[in-house]
């Protein structure tokens, strides 16, 4: 896990970690804009196969919203579109507006976003000056708390579902308040079970790489699968799964696939259950047969 610095894209961070680790296969679970800092979950080598299970996790952010200025990107890096010259809303007005955004809401992504439309990213169309508008989507704001209000700035703590744009939230809050607004700062505090306290800066990773202890900072692949139930398998069953073969076993009543197949405390595979055949089928395998010899 990396504590991403401002000014870098998520792809930039992946490239840096790829060079530090010597791993060609490096991916991330959930993009952060260059403006943003905080938790960026990476997968290296075999662990990249876990990332698809992490993308759907809830995220938690600390966001600073600047009232009074609207930009075309909905953040501080965009071109100013409009400015508010009136008075600032009262704190109780801000609290009342924020309450409207809690729960399941319909949100329209920003024009400058990576969503594809007609096979092309929206931000590419927007950069050419084309008028773009992404279709709205349903997202869930599980928690939205006002931490500070010092006009024209307000700081909020947000926990939200996959697909939520905090830039759009800032823009929409500004529209609802009648002042306009944009996202001034953003820090991701958590992504699913992973928190910023567990993350390492790029400087820390570089020093660890120089000292030959980078591997000590890595979490095991199953650290990202804590939401999946676990089943215990025997050594012989683990070997069969490692070969990509099914194992015959009933599914425990309290286990809903997919599940983690564990042998001796180690992740062997993510498995799906075939109820008709009474078998577990490996979906993703994380050990080779010789590692179990």
pLDDT > 70 fraction of the chain, expressed in percent and rounded:
91
Based on the structure, what is the number of domains in the chain? 3
pLDDT at residue 118 is higher than 60: no
Q: Are residues 46 and 73 in the same domain?
A: no
Q: Does pLDDT of 128 surpass 70?
A: no
Q: What is the pLDDT of residues 146-164, one digit of tens each?
A: 999 999 999 999 999 998 9
176 and 197 share one domain: no
Residue numbers of the domain that contains 141: 59-191
Q: Point out which residues pair with 270 in neighbouring strands.
A: 260, 284
The most confident of 74-78, 150-154, 245-249, 260-264, by mean pLDDT:
150-154
Instruction: Tell me, letter by letter, the H, E, C secondary structure of the chain.
Output: CEEECCCCCHHHHHHHHHHHHCCCCEEECCCCCCCCEEEECEEEHHHHHHHHHHCCCCEEEEEEEEECEEECCCECCCCEEEECCCCCCCHHHHHHHHHCCCEEEEECCCCCCCCEECCEEHHHHHHCCCCCCCCCEEEEEEEEEEEEEECCEEEEEEEECCCCCHHHHHHHHHHHHCCCEEEEEEEEEEECCEEHHHCECHHHHHHHHHCCCHHHHCCCHHHHCCCCCEEECCHHHHHHHHCCCCEECCCCCCCCCCEEEEECCEEEEEEEEECCCCEEEEEEECCCHHHHC
Catalytic site positions: 33
CATH number at residue 240: 2.30.130.10
Q: Which CATH number do you get for residue 214? A: 3.30.2350.10
Residues 85 and 152 in one domain: yes
């Amino acid at each position: 896990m990396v504590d991403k610095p401002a000014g870098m894209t998520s792809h930039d961070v992946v490239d840096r970690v790829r060079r530090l680790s010597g791993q060609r296969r490096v991916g991330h679970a959930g993009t952060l804009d260059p403006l943003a800092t905080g938790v960026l979950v990476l997968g290296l080598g075999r662990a990249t196969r876990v990332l698809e299970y992490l993308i759907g996790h809830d995220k938690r952010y600390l966001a600073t919203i600047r009232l009074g200025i609207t930009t075309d990107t909905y953040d501080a890096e965009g071109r100013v579109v409009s400015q508010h010259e009136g008075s600032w809303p009262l704190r109780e007005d801000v609290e009342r507006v924020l309450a409207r955004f809690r729960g399941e809401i319909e949100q329209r992504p920003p024009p400058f976003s990576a969503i594809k439309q007609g096979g092309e990213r929206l931000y590419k169309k927007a950069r050419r000056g084309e008028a773009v508008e992404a279709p709205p989507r349903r997202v869930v704001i599980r928690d939205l708390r006002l931490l500070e209000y010092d006009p024209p700035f307000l700081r909020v703590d947000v926990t939200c579902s996959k697909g939520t744009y905090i830039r759009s939230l800032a823009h929409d809050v500004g529209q609802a308040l009648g002042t306009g607004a944009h996202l001034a700062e953003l820090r991701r505090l958590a992504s699913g079970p992973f928190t910023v306290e567990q993350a390492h800066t790029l400087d820390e990773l570089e020093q660890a790489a120089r000292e030959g202890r980078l591997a000590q900072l890595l979490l095991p692949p199953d650290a990202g699968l804590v939401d999946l139930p676990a089943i215990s398998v025997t050594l012989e069953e683990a070997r069969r799964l490692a070969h990509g073969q099914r194992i015959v076993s009933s599914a425990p009543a309290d286990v809903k696939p997919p599940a983690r197949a564990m042998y001796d405390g180690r992740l062997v595979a993510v498995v799906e259950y075939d109820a008709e055949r009474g078998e577990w089928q490996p979906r993703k395998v994380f050990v080779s047969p010789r590692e179990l010899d």
